[in-house]
Amino acid sequence: MRSKRIVTFILLFFLLSLFIFVNLALALTVDDVASELICPCGCGKMLDVCEMESAREMRVLIEEMIDEGQDKDQIINYFINQYGEKVLAAPGKKGFNLIAWVAPFLVMGLGAGIIWLAIAKWALRGKFEEPKRKNTGQGQRDKKYTDKLKKELEEFKF
Amino acid sequence: MGTLGFFSLILALFVCVYSLLAIAKGVRTKSLKWIKSSQNAVLAVCGLVSLAGVILIYSFVVNDFHLQYVAEHSSANLSLVYRLSAFWAGQEGSLLLWEWLLVVFAGILIIQNRRKNKELMPYVSATMMGISLFFLILLIFVSKPFQLLSFLPSDGRGLNPLLQNPGMVLHPPAVFLGYVGFSVPFAFAIAALMTRKLGNIWIISTRKWVLFSWLCLSVGNLLGAQWAYMELGWGGYWAWDPVENASLIPWLTATAYLHSVMIQERRGMLKVWNMVLIIITFALTIFGTFIVRSGILSSVHSFALSPLLGVLFLTFIGLILILSFTLLLSRRNLLKGENELDSLLSRESTFLFNNLILVGAAFAIFWGTIFPLISEAVRGTKITVGPPFYNQIMIPIGLALLLLTAICPLISWRKASGKNLRKNFLYPFIISIIGGVVILRWTIQHPYALISFVLAIFVAATIIIEFARGARARKEMTKEGYLKSFFSLITRNKRRYGGYIIHIGMVCLFVGITGSSAFKVEKVETIRKGESFTIKDYQLELVSVDSYPTQNKYITSATLAVYRGGKKIGSLRPEKNFYTNQEQTLTEVALRSTLKEDLYVILTQYSEDGSATFKVVISPLIMWMWLGGVVLVGGTILAMWLGKREKLQLAMHYIREMKKGEV
């Protein structure tokens, strides 16, 4: 009975430590938020690396909002309301903006498909047909010379 | 002097138009006299634009502030090197540099091809002069480098402090050399289409030009990255800024071209594709100039905001694409491949996939760069497409490219056998797995970094084994020593081994990029004199903060003693400078660079009470990037300067192609 209690205690302790550890590991930092935003002063730098005064003020504001218990989405939405969608360092993966994310892979996938099909078609044709030689007239010339050689050999007598 | 410069440009415009008319007349009437006259006209344009260029340089050297361009970008207290580099600090000078390089290249082509390519050359000159005409119109009517001020200012406004950096002296000309260089293969491609000489002659004739342009663009991009690292003070080197992207996109398509053209040379395939690639690459170089100069996209390179220039550039790009592709379509029947692919597992097919990835990467970056404009046009909402987008899209693409870097050069032509695959890839595979296990403890939390390093080891192993195998075979054949066999192997096959060396450079670049982005450590600390703080295993102690004026700036410099393991290993002096002419404050980074990592220190703030705030970044392996750049340059130069045997091979190829043309 006692050992059962000890095991339960150890398990609970382990789970609690895990919970604390995960929470510590996942605790929201200023950089977590700032690395998803662009400094709106027009310098074109990311908010987490910009050294302009306005960027510093925004990072302080983010810190205050984290301390108030706001989550990442709430903080980001606040800045979108303030500065518009362009404050986001990358477009969201929904609605019209999804096209931005999907198009490169779609185009590459399409390209890969076309290449694959073309090679497969060529390779398959190569298996069933005589290999295509470039028509440089070499064949005809060869035939001409072979015929001539054959004829001369036939005519050739000691 | 400014007036003389302006008139030399006007005269160049007239002679340029004359050269185009003379070419048209010469081609139509098959008159050598007119063709010769047009060539002289091209040389005259080259001379006249060179005169304008020299006048602008002279105006900077003698501080002729009567010229608006000189007054806006230079000042009397600027050092001579920066006064010279101020030539390309603004829009007008940059466009003049473009035009100058273009007509010099056109002149070199005339001299280079005096006794060859007689049919192609009139069309090559016409294309070069057509492009030149566009830039001359810009320089005379829109963006005037010789515009005079109505008064003579006592001093100029000075050069943007951000541009007062050695990297910035060389970065723009290197990028421009690359951009303009691609006009040569483009002009030859157009000439080949016009004359229906669609074999490999245009490719052989432009081989060195393509490599040279690619080299310049590579160096230009790397110098740009170095500049951003040293000057922008955020510890990074690539911000996926529209202007940075604009020079990376043509580099990617040009790299695709460099690879696919090998298939045309070897197997007579992909003729249309190569044409498409070179047309797109050239159009993208103009697009690059358009992005920088139109100010259409917000960028850290906020040089110019000129809507008219933007419209003109866009029209020019449209014209290039429409005319080139119409011409290409009309010749499509003559561009049929001489062979077909035999197997999915062959060098040809892996090269196709390599092209797909390179062009796909170019498209992804292009798409990301223009998507804000699309969003604004469709939804009316301004958005930003910044680093998080590119990092997510480009990491898998980059890794796929790294994998193909290992596979492409070593897989057999036509059809690879199991034996070929085992021979070339078994040992590298085992080595990379062992390497992966060894580095696992450092990379376990960074799966992309782990994959990248394993692939880098794989590529390096394939190349090193290939070198060793070649050297051994040569040693057995010639009975020379290992070292001599190794060097003669490279010098006798410069094209092939130059290519391998470029790939080693790319591996170093990937190692640098991976290390510095996945394992970067940052810290911001405020300390007083005598106090210290720790970052990783470094301890930094503030020794002093000094302020003093110089000729054009007021310097505030902090001296930090750097300790490691309790032992002093050196001092760092980051600065924060106030440029008096521009009333602008900029930071000067202090750097301790080793192959293992960079210790990067920025003085962000200081106060009267003697305290100073530092941003410290530790970027592991970043030195490998710059080292990779040097290796890449070495490999490209090796591949450009062929030995006697390879030159003969190329000449024989040229003659064969000429004969084919006659048939």
Q: What is the CATH number of the domain that holds A9?
A: 1.10.8
Instruction: Say whether B356 and A108 touch across the interface (CB within 8 A).
Output: yes
| Burial class of residue A116, CB neighbours in 10 A (0-12, 13-18, 19+) | middle
Work out the average pLDDT over B237-255: 93
Residue A131 sits in the same domain as residue A64: no
CB count within 10 Å of CB B459 equals 24
pLDDT at B307: 74
* Token digits of residue B204: 């052989």
Instruction: Say whether A38 and B364 touch across the interface (CB within 8 A).
Output: no
Instruction: Say whether A96 and B367 touch across the interface (CB within 8 A).
Output: no
Work out the average pLDDT over B63-84: 91
Higher pLDDT, B545 or A126: B545
The whole-angstrom separation of Cα B248 and Cα B250 is: 6
Give how far B339 is from chain A: nearest CA, Å: 7
Q: Looking at the domain assignment, is residue A27 inside a domain?
A: yes
- Tens of pLDDT, residue by residue over B102-159, are 999 999 999 999 888 888 999 999 999 999 999 999 999 998 999 999 888 888 888 8
Q: Looking at the domain assignment, is residue A101 inside a domain?
A: no
Q: Sign (positive/negative) of CA torsion B76, B80, B81, B84?
A: positive
Q: Closest Cα to residue B341, out of B331, B333, B329, B353?
A: B353
The amino acid sitting at B343 is S
Q: Looking at the domain assignment, is residue A7 inside a domain?
A: yes
Instruction: Say whether A46 and B393 touch across the interface (CB within 8 A).
Output: no
Q: Are B193 and B130 in contact (CB under 8 A)?
A: no
Local structure of B549: helix, strand or coil: strand
Q: Are B614 and B630 in contact (CB under 8 A)?
A: no
Chain B residues within 8 A of A124 when measuring between CB atoms:
none
Where is average pLDDT lowest: B5-9, B564-568, B631-635? B564-568
Instruction: Say whether A86 and B353 touch across the interface (CB within 8 A).
Output: no
pLDDT at B145: 93
Cα Rg, chain A, nearest whole Å: 36
Place of tokens 């990937």: B510
Residue A10 sits in the same domain as residue A73: yes
Work out the average pLDDT over B547-558: 87
Is the pLDDT score of B390 beyond 90?
yes
User: What is the total count of domains within chain A?
Assistant: 2
Tell me the DSSP string of B583-651.
TEEEEE-EEEE-SSEEEEEEEEEE-TTS-EEEEEEEEETTHHHHHHHHHHHHHHHHHHS--HHHHHHHH
Instruction: Say whether A85 and B338 touch across the interface (CB within 8 A).
Output: no
A122 close contact with B: CB closer than 8 A:
yes
A30 close contact with B: CB closer than 8 A:
no
Chain B residues within 8 A of A112 when measuring between CB atoms:
353, 356
Q: Looking at the domain assignment, is residue A128 inside a domain?
A: yes
Long-range contacts of B97-101 (CB under 8 A, 24+ apart): B97/B53, B97/B172, B97/B173, B97/B176, B98/B135, B98/B176, B98/B179, B98/B180, B98/B289, B99/B49, B99/B132, B99/B135, B99/B136, B99/B139, B100/B49, B100/B50, B100/B52, B100/B53, B101/B176, B101/B177, B101/B180
Q: Looking at the domain assignment, is residue A145 inside a domain?
A: yes
Mean model confidence pLDDT for chain B: 90
pLDDT at A134: 47
Instruction: Say whether B341 and A35 touch across the interface (CB within 8 A).
Output: no
The whole-angstrom separation of Cα B195 and Cα B197 is: 5
Give how far A149 is from chain B: nearest CA, Å: 25
Which of these three, A36, A62, A90, is where a domain ends? A90
pLDDT at B298: 56
Tell me the pairing of strands B584-588 and B575-579: antiparallel
Is the pLDDT score of B558 beyond 90?
yes
Structural domain range at position A142:
106-155
A85 close contact with B: CB closer than 8 A:
yes
B337 close contact with A: CB closer than 8 A:
no
Give how far A148 is from chain B: nearest CA, Å: 24
Which of these three, A56, A90, A124, is where a domain ends? A90
Is the pLDDT score of B74 beyond 80?
yes
- Tens of pLDDT, residue by residue over B505-522, are 999 999 999 999 999 998
- Tens of pLDDT, residue by residue over B296-320, are 665 545 555 567 888 889 899 999 9
Residue A28 sits in the same domain as residue A62: yes
Long-range contacts of B590-598 (CB under 8 A, 24+ apart): B590/B560, B591/B230, B592/B562, B593/B622, B593/B623, B594/B623, B595/B621, B595/B623, B595/B624, B595/B627, B596/B620, B596/B621, B597/B515, B597/B621, B597/B622, B598/B516, B598/B622, B598/B623
Residue A110 sits in the same domain as residue A54: no
pLDDT at B581: 74
Q: Looking at the domain assignment, is residue A81 inside a domain?
A: yes
Is the pLDDT score of B389 beyond 50?
yes
CA angle, B248 then B186 then B643, to 5°: 85
Place of tokens 């080139």: B324
Instruction: Say whether B363 and A108 touch across the interface (CB within 8 A).
Output: yes
Q: Looking at the domain assignment, is residue A99 inside a domain?
A: no
* Token digits of residue B113: 């091809």
- Name the residue facing A96 among B340, B360, B378 (closest C-beta): B378
Chain A residues within 8 A of B379 when measuring between CB atoms:
96
Query: Residue B80 gets which letter from DSSP?
Result: H
Chosen from B353, B389, B390 to mutate, greatest number of chain A CBs within 10 A: B389
Q: Looking at the domain assignment, is residue A86 inside a domain?
A: yes
Half-sphere exposure of B612 (CA within 13 A, CB side): 30
Residue A83 sits in the same domain as residue A38: yes
pLDDT at A6: 64
B235 close contact with A: CB closer than 8 A:
yes
Residue A126 sits in the same domain as residue A83: no
pLDDT at A129: 53
Q: Closest Cα to residue B172, out of B112, B100, B247, B282?
A: B247
Confidence label for B648 from pLDDT (cuts 50, 70 and 90): confident
Q: Is residue B165 within a helix (H) or strand (E), and if so which, with residue range?
A: none
pLDDT at A22: 45
Q: Closest Cα to residue B365, out of B239, B247, B245, B283?
A: B245
- Tens of pLDDT, residue by residue over B352-369, are 899 999 999 999 999 999
Residue A111 sits in the same domain as residue A82: no
Q: Is residue B240 within a helix (H) or strand (E), and if so which, with residue range?
A: none
Place of tokens 């293992």: B596
Chain B residues within 8 A of A81 when measuring between CB atoms:
none
- Tens of pLDDT, residue by residue over A36-72, are 999 888 777 888 888 778 888 899 999 999 999 898 8
Higher pLDDT, A42 or B458: B458
Residue A139 sits in the same domain as residue A78: no
Q: Which residues make beta-bridge pairs with A88?
A: A37
Half-sphere exposure of B622 (CA within 13 A, CB side): 26
pLDDT at B329: 94
Chain B residues within 8 A of A88 when measuring between CB atoms:
383-384
A103 close contact with B: CB closer than 8 A:
yes
Work out the average pLDDT over B548-565: 90
B303 close contact with A: CB closer than 8 A:
no
Q: Are B504 and B591 in contact (CB under 8 A)?
A: no
pLDDT at B630: 96
pLDDT at B306: 67
A91 close contact with B: CB closer than 8 A:
yes
pTM for the model stands at 0.88
Q: Is residue B382 within a helix (H) or strand (E), and if so which, with residue range?
A: none
Chain A residues within 8 A of B382 when measuring between CB atoms:
84-86
- Tens of pLDDT, residue by residue over B249-291, are 999 999 999 999 988 888 888 889 999 999 999 999 999 988 8
Residue A10 sits in the same domain as residue A75: yes
pLDDT at B277: 96
The whole-angstrom separation of Cα B450 and Cα B443 is: 5
pLDDT at A140: 58
Instruction: Say whether B382 and A84 touch across the interface (CB within 8 A).
Output: yes
Question: How many Cβ pairs closer than 8 A exist between chain A and B?
Answer: 129
CA angle, B577 then B579 then B580, to 5°: 135
Stretches where chain A sits below pLDDT 70 are 1-26, 124-143, 155-158
Q: Are B284 and B195 in contact (CB under 8 A)?
A: no
Is the pLDDT score of B657 beyond 90?
no
pLDDT at B63: 92
Give how far A99 is from chain B: nearest CA, Å: 9
Which of these three, A59, A90, A121, is where a domain ends? A90
- Tens of pLDDT, residue by residue over B589-620, are 999 999 999 999 999 888 888 889 999 999 99
